[in-house]
A and B are shown apart, each in its own frame.
Chain A
Amino acid sequence: MTELSLDGRDGSELISFRIGEQEFCVDIMAVREIRGWTPATPVPHSPRFVRGVINLRGAVLPVVDLADRLGLGKAVETARHVIIVVQIGSKVVGLLVDAVCDILSTADHVVQKTPDLAGDQMQSFVKGLIALEGRMISLIDLGLVLDAQQAEAA
């Protein structure tokens, strides 16, 4: 089991959220805000996991159904769902998740390398795992979410 430091910055903070029964997290520095679910306007010819676009104070940004993206099946959105607005490169993207759980610090937890899982869609998006009080939290590689999105769309 190898230790994986997060961009060499120990002590970075992560925001964790839930999709179905699984927990995930992203670097808190990438998170711009968290907002309630609002219906998105579908955009033609989009990949299935892009729910459409929403209005965030005048900016139009896409909402990615993270459950669908990770191969966990399309989310059935409820009023309790939230959109985590993240900055990926120059783009601002909304991630549709079930609920936000916690803020953790990598200083307190060891990020472990993802074990090999053959042919799983999830694998490419998870860059590490964190064990926390008997739970397992997967660290999402945001850059890949968007890269893959573009690759698939092309």
Chain B
Amino acid sequence: MDPMDAIRTTFFIECDELLAQLEEGLMAMEQGSADAETINSVFRAVHSVKGGGGAFGLDPLVRFSHVFETLLDQIRSSQVEPTEAVVATLLRAADMLADHVAAARDGGVADEARSEQIAAAIMSHTIGGASAAEYQEQPAEIEGLDFKPQMISLDLPPAAPADDFDLSALLAGAAAAPEPSADGDADGEGDWIVNFAPHASLYAKANDSVLVIRELSGLGEATVTYNDEMLPTLDEMDPAGAYLSWTVRLPASVHEEDIREAFAFVDEDCDLEIVRDGAIEAAGPDIASLLAAVSDTPAAAEPASSVDLPASAPADIQPAPTPPPAPVAAQPETARVVSLMDLAPPVETLTQAAPSAAAPAASAAVAAGAPVPPPPQTIRVDLDRVDRLINLVGELVINQAMLAQRVMESGAGKATDVNLAITDLELLTRNIQDSVMAIRAQPVKSVFQRMPRLVREVGEATQKRVRLITEGEGTEVDKTVVEKLSDPITHMIRNAIDHGLETPAEREAAGKPAEGTVRLTAAHRSGRIVIEVSDDGRGVDRARVKAKAVEKGLISPEAQLTDEEIDNLIFAPGFSTAATVSDISGRGVGMDVVKRSVQALGGRITIVSTPGQGSRFSLSLPLTLAVLDGMVVTVGDQTLVAPLTTIIESLKPRAGDVRPLGPNNFVLKIRDAFVPLVDTGAALGFGKSKFDPTEGVALLVESDVAGQVALMVDHIQGQRQVVIKSLETNYRPTDGVAAATILGDGRVALILDIDGLVTAHRKAPPRAETLAMTG
């Protein structure tokens, strides 16, 4: 891939993070916590987007963010008070900025009229505000990219000054480096800035920083600065610790490989950063970060989507100060410094880091000392790699099961060493599997974060005042599930505002606050994730729903329905309660589609409603789409898996309970109801010559297309968690089969698609018309 494309991709990935950070900050401000840190983070986000945008020549984006940033800057310097009106404008501006970024990414153009309108709104709050004309003329380049080290730490933990990625360290280093004597940046490319922070392990391995620095200075005229920020007082010093770091400035003509070569033996034991000074000045700090990220981590440059891995163990950044002090022991450290100075004659030494550099580093140190825990460190990993790992672990689990089976077959007793070892292996494999699955787990935050904007827009369009409350956004669920959550949640929220909430006037008349509340929550409940969207609106208008259902022919006029049954009618296909199809909810997709897509994921959706007090939609989904709880059954000589979520009960039919209906069909009497009986083997084309329901087991399942149906299988082998493998990757979709899985013996078993199976059954045999199905 073109390196520029790679950087561009990284830029947009970062933009997403920055925009999320922006939104989060603004939401916090909306709730009244306009502390300096929040405002700073908001400012930083906009500034970083603008900086990157400028480097890529994204003019509209830069123009807009410049205006945005100007106002934020004034808020930051307390010139402008972040009142409710101002924050509301900022929120709209954040939405617009997101549109600009999206437009730039997809090569389109954002809504320029809206952009100008919002820019004007921003400027109306700005003191001595830039005029609209100025917005138009605002040059798109480097203006505003002046070097401000304290703003640019991106989303990296400020407490980790020595991290590979850390910009503040990089920038501190850059700033700390003395001005090049004369020749430095004459040519286009800037000098090399090498930041080198040894870990204690470097010295423990009998390496020495001085050797490295001496080697560097042999490459060209080097300027070395050392940084003793981390140096504790004598009584706190760990004799074996490493407290010093160095910044070496090398002429631009030196090759990067040569610089890396110097660190060949120590690169695992130090934090190392090699950047060009010019890159920072020319393209702005954000690009520098991109370049650093690209050069340091190939993974970050890959275009594929990536997951953030929370690293539980904090990286080994600096040795913690060990309490028992040995005053004398500090000696070697000092001695080393001295000897360094002696041994590296061409190296100039600065005894004090420049104050400008000290500032951010010091604030980082303060942050580290503060009670606020540093955010967990994350790395970006290509999703493909994680999937590969998951596949391999799946294989490992199968192999382990096969091995266990073989050992059993070989007749080794339960208490033999072999079997005990196998048991250990099994435990270990399970642990590995759980840990690997946890890698894919992501908080639902990424989806929840998109909702405030939706609420604002829908609220505006419907003239309703809405307040969104979110809870449990840290709830983790598999990445694939997170991706699938967005649509149903969007629909439920739209629905809640459009149909659930009343207009402010109606609300006041009903004695409720004019502002409606929509609550979005996520929680883990018995191995599933439950998302709830509730509103304090008028609740389901049952009379209207029923009338509508009758009108649409969904129910007969005489039907006696419980309140719950009426509420659930809104999920019936083709049902839409809004009298006029509005822009908001009536996008041709009703709750029935939501329900079907949720069920396709192995989920359930329900509604509870109280007239006058509101409704609550509950969405329950499995935590992962890669694993499924299944009932393993035998049909003919085949082993099949039925998804456990669809099975209501299993029973052994008695002869008297099975009644023929028409020439080819049977129904099964379960308590007082008759349900159609489906010969699973026949429906799948594994047909046996004779079908005798009393010899098999009936699985009573809930199907979308035909309500309850009894599936006949020969035996039940048991319940098991199975890993879902796609049949379509290498073959094609198949009626009645949802996917495949691999059993303990290494063979493939098919996972049944209940709805497909029932549909196939209904199509295949000629059947009597009389069997009316409920549902």
Question: Interface of A with B (CB < 8 Å)?
Answer: 38-46, 50, 52-55, 57-62, 91-93, 150, 153
Contact = CB atoms under 8 A, between A and B. Distances in A.
B726 interface: yes
Contacts of A43: 727, 731, 734, 737, 750
Nearest to A93: B730
A42 B638 contact: yes
Given A53-B731, A91-B731, A153-B732, A44 B686 contact: yes
A55 B747 contact: yes
A36 to B, nearest CB: 13
A41 B391 contact: no
A98 to B, nearest CB: 23
B529 to A, nearest CB: 26
Interface in B371-426: 391-392, 394-395, 398
Contact of B747 (A41, A44, A57, A58): A41
Contacts of B365: none
B739 to A, nearest CB: 8
B685 A41 contact: no
B729 interface: yes
Given A40-B748, A58-B395, A58-B725, 14 more contacts: A42-B638, A43-B731, A43-B737, A45-B685, A53-B748, A54-B747, A55-B742, A57-B395, A58-B392, A59-B391, A60-B725, A60-B731, A62-B730, A92-B730
B732 A60 contact: no
A93 to B, nearest CB: 6
Contacts of B395: 57-58
A45 B735 contact: yes
Nearest to B397: A58
18 contacts: A39-B747, A40-B748, A41-B747, A43-B731, A43-B734, A44-B686, A44-B736, A45-B735, A46-B734, A53-B731, A54-B748, A55-B742, A58-B398, A60-B725, A60-B729, A62-B730, A62-B731, A91-B731
A134 B477 CA distance: 64
B746 to A, nearest CB: 6
Nearest to B392: A58
Contacts of A42: 638, 686
Contacts of A59: 391, 725, 729-730
Contacts of A38: 746-747
Query: Max chain B CB contacts within 10 Å: which of A41, A44, A59?
Result: A44
Nearest to B749: A41
Contacts of B749: 41
Query: Max chain B CB contacts within 10 Å: which of A57, A58, A59?
Result: A58
B280 interface: no
Nearest to A154: B732
Nearest to A53: B748
Nearest to A54: B748
A39 B743 CA distance: 13
A55 B746 contact: yes
B554 interface: no
Contact of B732 (A57, A92, A150): A150
Contacts of A54: 747-748
A94 to B, nearest CB: 9
A53 B391 CA distance: 17
Query: Max chain A CB contacts within 10 Å: which of B391, B726, B731?
Result: B731
Nearest to A92: B730
Interface string B740-764: 1010001111100000000000000
Contacts of B747: 38-39, 41, 54-55
A57 B737 CA distance: 21
A129 to B, nearest CB: 30
Contacts of B734: 43-46
Contacts of B746: 38, 55
A60 B392 contact: no
B684 interface: yes
A60 B735 contact: no
A53 B740 contact: yes
A93 B729 CA distance: 10
A46 B736 CA distance: 12
Nearest to A61: B730
B106 to A, nearest CB: 25
Nearest to B388: A58
A45 B733 CA distance: 10
Nearest to A46: B734
Given A41-B748, A53-B731, A58 B737 contact: no
Nearest to B396: A58
B265 to A, nearest CB: 38
B274 to A, nearest CB: 40
B736 A91 contact: no
A61 B394 CA distance: 16
A58 B742 CA distance: 7
A55 B725 CA distance: 10
Contacts of B727: 43, 53, 60
A45 B731 CA distance: 12
Given A41-B638, A43-B737, A45-B736, A91 B729 contact: yes
B731 to A, nearest CB: 4
A143 to B, nearest CB: 15
A44 B750 CA distance: 10
A92 B392 CA distance: 18
Nearest to A62: B731
Contacts of A46: 734
B709 to A, nearest CB: 17
Closest 10 CB pairs of A and B: A44-B684, A61-B730, A41-B748, A62-B731, A58-B395, A44-B685, A60-B740, A60-B725, A58-B391, A91-B730
A38 B748 CA distance: 11
A36 B392 CA distance: 21
A60 B684 contact: no
A57 B742 CA distance: 10
A56 to B, nearest CB: 9
A60 B742 contact: yes
Contacts of A150: 732
Contacts of A153: 732
Query: Max chain A CB contacts within 10 Å: which of B638, B732, B734, B742?
Result: B732
B726 A60 contact: yes
A57 B735 CA distance: 25
Contacts of A60: 725-727, 729-731, 740, 742, 748
Contacts of B684: 44-45
Nearest to B741: A60
A54 B730 CA distance: 11
A25 to B, nearest CB: 22
A44 B748 contact: no
Contacts of B730: 59-62, 91-93
Contacts of B729: 59-60, 91
B597 to A, nearest CB: 24
A41 B732 contact: no
A44 B740 CA distance: 12
Given A55-B748, A58-B742, A60-B740, A44 B735 contact: yes
A50 B742 CA distance: 19
B755 to A, nearest CB: 15
Interface string B660-679: 00000000000000000000
A58 B684 CA distance: 24
A61 B728 CA distance: 9
A39 B748 CA distance: 10
A45 B740 CA distance: 15
Contacts of B725: 58-60
Contacts of A93: 730
A57 to B, nearest CB: 6
Contacts of A40: 748
